[in-house]
Structure 1
Amino acid sequence: MAINYVQLNGDHLEWMKQLMDCFGTVFEEPENYGHKRPTDAYLTERLNDPSFIALVALEGDQVVAGLVAYELKKFEQARSEVYIYDLGVYERFRRQGIATGLINALKPIAKNMGAWVIFVQADYVDEPAIKLYDSLGEKEEVLHFDIPVQWKP
């Protein structure tokens, strides 16, 4: 069956939930993507936010992979960058070009936003991701820091 790529909007709550299930499985973090799941109203608001991008790869009406990205509007020039926050493919659909297809589907969306680049981070131990991103762009060696914030939901 053919794979179709779809950018989600507020009418696609069920696919968004399937995408979250996919991420929970692929990243082995079901509690992060499944427990304390936001309300439908919250997800709809995200999906209708023009700076939030959710793309899915579908086999029929089932999500087999997807990505979530954010537009970051720059101040030093009138342009944006798009940051891929999560990209995951169910194991049985890997090595079929689906992750590349998702990134290729993201490119025209990013261009329409006025983005000049798409960027993504990868863990040193995630060799398949590093190989994918190496094939698509230039690698920068950077450090990433998480600075905790006191936040109460």
Structure 2
Amino acid sequence: MRIERITEAATVHRAADLFDGPPLPDATAKFLAAPGHHLLMAFEGDRALGMVTGVEMTHPDKGTEMFLYELGVAPHARLRGVGTALVEALAEVARERGCYGMWVGTEQDNEAAQKTYRKAGASDEEPFLLLSWDVTQPRSEDGQT
């Protein structure tokens, strides 16, 4: 198995089954072109086994950390260490880029993801509440969308 940094949209689209949904052409191009955005894929021969994406995030009083955005492993390649190898490779990119840490969020019932992240060296942090905004919809005067 080899892991490569992906810079060409065609490679992403050929490995579409590794993502939650079909890669969007404009979003793929924007992600690949953005400094601080990283897409790594694991291959066996020419066959993509898995992918991980990371985004560098910088804050004035904290420095730069790596956000592990998404990890996907093809069903036929699971339980072979592909996910762990991809997470470790992204952590190496983070070290090379001068990040002080790396973090990920996952669902509390996603045991496979938690096991993979812990195997790759992650430790549990204090639980937190995640709040999100749907910024595609205008807010009404009562604050609802």
Which position in structure 2 is the counterpart of 1:124? 108
Normalising by structure 2, we get a TM-score of 0.83
TM-score, structure 1 normalization: 0.79
Question: Residue 5 of structure 1: which of 3, 6, 9 is its match?
Answer: 3
Q: Which runs of 5+ in 1 are unaligned?
A: 25-32
Offset of 1:43 from its aligned partner? 2.7
Deviating runs (4+, > 6 A) in structure 1? none
Aligned to 2:129: 143
Aligned equivalent of 1:110: 94
* CA distance in structure 2 between the aligned counterparts of 1:102 and 1:87, rounded to whole angstroms: 8
Seq. identity, %: 24
Q: Give the 3-state SS of the residue equivalent to 1:148 in structure 2.
A: coil
Contact 1:5 1:57 in 2 (8 A): yes
Aligned pair count?
136
For the Cα contact (< 8 Å) 1:52–1:71, is it kept in 2? yes
Alignment partner, residue 23 of structure 1: 19
Give the aligned CA root-mean-square deviation in angstroms.
2.0
Counterpart among 63, 73, 80 of residue 89 in structure 1: 73
Which amino acid in 2 is paired with 1:148? D
Distance 1:50 1:151, change over 3 A: farther
* CA–CA separation in structure 1 for the residues paired with 2:16 and 2:100: 28
| Structure 2 unmatched runs, 5+ | 139-145
Distance in 2 between residues matched to 1:66 and 1:112, nearest whole Å = 19
Partner residue, 2:35? 50
Moved more, 14-23 or 135-144: 14-23
Q: State the structure with more CA Rg.
A: 2
Query: Does structure 2 retain, via aligned residues, the 8 Å contact 1:15–1:63?
Result: no
Per-residue CA deviations over 1:111-150 (Å, capped at 9, x if unaligned) read: 1221011111111111111122233221121121112213
Deviations 1:16-70 (A, max 9, x none): 113433113xxxxxxxx228x224xx53342132211100011112211001110
| Distance verdict in 2 for CA 1:150–1:120, change over 3 Å | same
Q: Which residue of 1 aligns with 2:142?
A: none
Q: CA deviation at 1:151?
A: 5.9
